[in-house]
Chains A and B, each alone.
Chain A
Amino acid sequence: MIFSIAWKNMFRYKRRTLITASAIALGIMFSIMMEGMLFGADQDSKRNLIWYETSAAKIYAASYFEQKETFPVQYFIDKEQRSVLDDFLKKKNIKFAPRFQTYCDIYFSEEFFETAGSISGILSAVDVTKDSTVYKVSEEVERGSWLGDSKDASRDENGISTGAVIGSWLAKDMKAELGWYITIQCKGRGGFIQTMDIPIIGIIQSSNPIINASGVFMDLAFVNEMLELKGGVTEYSLSFGDISVSDKRYETFRTEFKSSLFSSADSPLELYSWRDIEADFLALTKTKSASSKFFLVFMLIIAAVGISNTMLMAVMERKHEIGMLKTLGYTNKFIRSLFMLEGLCIGIIGSIAGLLLGFAVNFFMVQYGINFGSLLEGVDIGYRISAVMRSGWNIPVFFLIAFGALIVSALSAFIPSGKMVRVEIAEIFREV
């Protein structure tokens, strides 16, 4: 009987029920949209970090990691170590790409450019044969060619590329064109300053804003000569295959690496996962996740106030029915449950509608996303996403949001109905 009355009561004031259910539905929809976008940004960021910046894991020379933010040029994985490391990684069937990375200043003069000036970047000297097995940077060339490609006109007689591929935002800031020469100044091994005049052979437009804003890529073989690296590199980037299984494979590899000779005092190399390298980023996403939870709670409070108000009106309008039910011997608990059930029913309708709307909006956001390209240029929002911001499907959380709304809907009827059932029956009928 209680379910029947609660269900029928819900349709007593259809418009009011519709408005309340719609408010819940909109709240859920926006919460799903928000959660989906944050989840999508989070997932995209992780992907873009691994594909363009950190790879799944890196091997550094000892002491490099602690100073990695400054790109130090005194901790190298030397030529001899590299030879052993290459064999070890090949044996373990791990894809790897050696790199040398350092900060650089890029000077451009009026000879080619509209104005003279300088800009900072991050120079990555890459092994052109191996880099594309770990990173996707080479696939993101928007104009020109990648280092060592058949279209790369800067290659010398030994096939070594003497040009640079730069990020699109960097190119835009300099108003650079392909073939124009830039002067790159950076530290060589040991700290000496080297200056290189090199042509721009390619421009990258990737989905990682850091690459677009500061990426300068050159052939490791060329940089080895210019910066006197003596065959050494600052890091080995590793790939464990698909991102979904990457973390698990890393754990297995970490155990093997620890038991290898590289962890010994004679040959101290250190292995770090992308999570170790980007700990700051992960902390930031956690903070953003916490703020999204706050948003969810806020939405639930709004839903609670809305339903509470609806139920308060229902209770006030039906006080004589409450009195009548009490005269029939129905308990306060039963009457309270009746209203809570009614709130729950409104919540169910609102939640189903909210889920459907939320899924529809999220589907659009996953498929097409929102293009924040012009807004994100030059702005560091922490996430490694650029231009199109796409949502993700965090299904358990979406359902959790709807479930939260259901609970809130039921509880929102608790206070208004509780107040009325405590009034003496005679008092209810006296207030005509």
Chain B
Amino acid sequence: MLMIKDVKKVYLSNSESVHALQGVSAEISDGEFMAFAGPSGSGKTTLLNLVGCLDSISGGSILIDGEEISSLSSSQKSLIRQKKIGFIFQSYNLIPVLTARENVELALDILHMYSKKEMKDMSYAMLAEVGLAGLEERKPNQLSGGQQQRVSIARALVKKPSVILADEPTANLDSVNSEMILQLMKDLNEKHNSTFIFSTHDQMVLSYVNRIISLKDGLIMSDETKRSV
């Protein structure tokens, strides 16, 4: 369960205050497949960053599984990110010198919970799940954009986080690959009951999600839940 209560975010830009979020509240249940939508500057990415403990909150509070994250220290936020949050980026952000498997193992290595063999097995299983069986030892430059994004999804999911945050995950993909990736995430959401939160203005993404929270100028304009997809 993710609780967003009256969240505010103020930036200082050229000594002027920019109110990116002006009091946003929402409740997101476990296993949701939803999106923050809106045009550029609406505050959707800012909200995603705050939920992901990537930025500091100016006001309000965010609770992940009942734990208040706005007041946590930098190292405590690191721990939350390690265990509870998975990230999928628009530009994949894979480490080019590591193989697909090693990139996935990065998310496990930091937990210090698994042996090398366990990490390898888990990475292989996750990569197979995202459709990359047989490509585990390839480096990112030996994979297509869609395959790289699959590695990124595997990396986000392998540690079984509570929430997966995806910032414009299909922005760098063509429509065929975008659809395949979205379907993959949808399948994984249903299979693992992981919460997926997107930040996007892409209509294709919006057509896949079950719920859309629309933002404009840092305020929620609408919160729509689809009956069926």
Contacts and interface: CB of A to CB of B under 8 A. Distances in A.
A432 B91 CA distance: 10
Contacts of B136: none
Given A12-B97, A327-B81, A331-B78, A1 B109 contact: yes
A329 B110 contact: yes
A323 B96 CA distance: 15
Contacts of B83: 329
B49 A426 contact: yes
Contacts of B87: 324, 327-328
A1 B93 contact: no
Nearest to A321: B95
A424 interface: yes
B85 to A, nearest CB: 8
> Chain A: interface residue count, which band?
20 to 34
Interface stretch (B51-59, B126-134, B142-150): B51-59
B97 A8 contact: yes
Interface in A280-337: 320-321, 323-331
> Chain B: interface residue count, which band?
20 to 34
B1 interface: no
A221 interface: no
Interface in B40-76: 46, 49, 52, 54-56, 75
B97 A324 contact: no
Interface in A1-16: 1, 4-5, 8-9, 11-12
Contacts, number: 66
Interface centre among A9, A329, A427, A432 (most CB of B within 10 A): A329
B95 A329 contact: no
Interface in B150-180: 155, 167
B210 interface: no
Given A328-B106, A329-B82, A426-B55, A8 B98 contact: yes
A9 B97 contact: yes
Contact of B52 (A4, A8, A327, A330): A327
Contacts of A5: 95, 97-98
Contacts of A331: 75, 78
Contact of B89 (A1, A4, A11, A324): A324
B79 interface: yes
A12 B96 contact: yes
A84 to B, nearest CB: 82
Nearest to A333: B75
A302 B56 CA distance: 40
B81 A321 contact: no
Contacts of B52: 327
A387 interface: no
Nearest to B139: A8
A425 interface: yes
Contacts of A12: 96-97
Contact of A426 (B54, B81, B155): B54
Contacts of B91: 320, 432
Interface string A318-361: 00110111111111000000000000000000000000000000
Nearest to A325: B106
A5 to B, nearest CB: 7
Contacts of A329: 78-79, 81-83, 110
Interface string B80-112: 011101010101010111100010011101100
Given A5-B95, A321-B95, A327 B54 contact: yes
Contact of A425 (B54, B82, B110): B54
Interface string A11-31: 110000000000000000000
21 contacts: A1-B105, A4-B98, A4-B102, A320-B91, A320-B93, A321-B95, A325-B106, A327-B52, A327-B54, A327-B81, A328-B87, A328-B106, A329-B78, A330-B78, A331-B78, A425-B55, A426-B54, A426-B55, A429-B49, A429-B54, A429-B89
Interface of B: 46, 49, 52, 54-56, 75, 78-79, 81-83, 85, 87, 89, 91, 93, 95-98, 102, 105-107, 109-110, 155, 167
Would you list the 6 A-B pairs with minimal beta carbon distance, nearest first? A329-B82, A8-B97, A426-B55, A324-B93, A425-B54, A426-B49
Interface of A: 1, 4-5, 8-9, 11-12, 320-321, 323-331, 424-427, 429, 432
Given A9-B97, A424-B56, A432-B91, 6 more contacts: A11-B97, A320-B89, A324-B87, A326-B78, A329-B83, A426-B49
